[in-house]
Structure formats: C-alpha cells, structure tokens
Amino acid sequence: MAIVPPRQKELSICQRDQKRCNEIRHHNSAPYWLKANTVVEIANKNIKKIFQKMVVAYKDWHEILPFALHGYRTTMCTSIGATPYSLVYGMEVVLPIKVEIPSL
C-alpha cells in the first residue's frame, strides 16, 4: 500500500471530475488492429495514388509532398460529406486563385 500525499490525491480527484464533466472516455487499443486501422489504410492508399500520378522522378518526391497532401485534404470525401480540411479547421479552404480572382 502506498501513501499518497494530500496534494497528489486532490489532483487525481480533480482530473477524474474533469473527465466526467467533459464526458471524456478513455479507451485502450491494440497497436495494430485491422478493423480499427482500415480508415488509415484507405487514406494511405489514396495518398499513394496521388503520389504515383504526380511524381515524375523518384528524387523529387519531397518537393511534391505538400501539394499532394493539400490535394488530398481539400478533396470532398463522399462517406462523410465533407473535406478533411473542413473537419479539422471548421471552414472550407480558400484557394490562392480565389483570392486573386474573386469571380471564381
């Protein structure tokens, strides 16, 4: 049995109450579980397809990476009906060409 100092005990009670108030649930998961990682595998497959279409020479993949990720993040996902960008930032992306030419 361990003796817990009063301050440490208060901290753990506060943390527990904060989790309860925010309705946070803690779940442990296995490092690799096929059913849980299916979405990640699909995203990786799509990014790989974008790379295969964009990269001309193997040496310049690092220069293409930001453009490929931007294209993936701003493409509408039919299963969720939104873009990954809009889910993260809460708004649609404004492309630089739309800023320069407002009629688009």
Residue 28 belongs to a domain: no
Containing structural domain, residue 72: 56-104
Domain count, the chain: 1
Contact 71, 64 (CB under 8 A): no
Residue 83 belongs to a domain: yes
Residue 44 belongs to a domain: no
Residue 25 belongs to a domain: no
| Tens digits of residue pLDDT in 40-68 | 788 888 888 888 888 776 677 888 888 88
Residues 61-71: b if buried by 16+ CB within 10 A, e if exposed = eeeeeeebeee
Alpha-carbon distance values, 14 to 5, 11, 21, 24 (Å): 15, 5, 10, 14
Residue 89 belongs to a domain: yes
Put simply, whether the predicted model's pTM sits higher than 0.85 gets the answer no
Backbone angles phi, psi at 77, to 5 degrees: -100, 115
| Tens digits of residue pLDDT in 81-93 | 899 899 889 988 8
- The pLDDT confidence band at residue 27, using thresholds 50, 70 and 90, is low
Residue 101 belongs to a domain: yes
Report the pLDDT value the prediction gives residue 68, as an integer from 0 to 100. 86
pLDDT, average across residues 16-43: 67
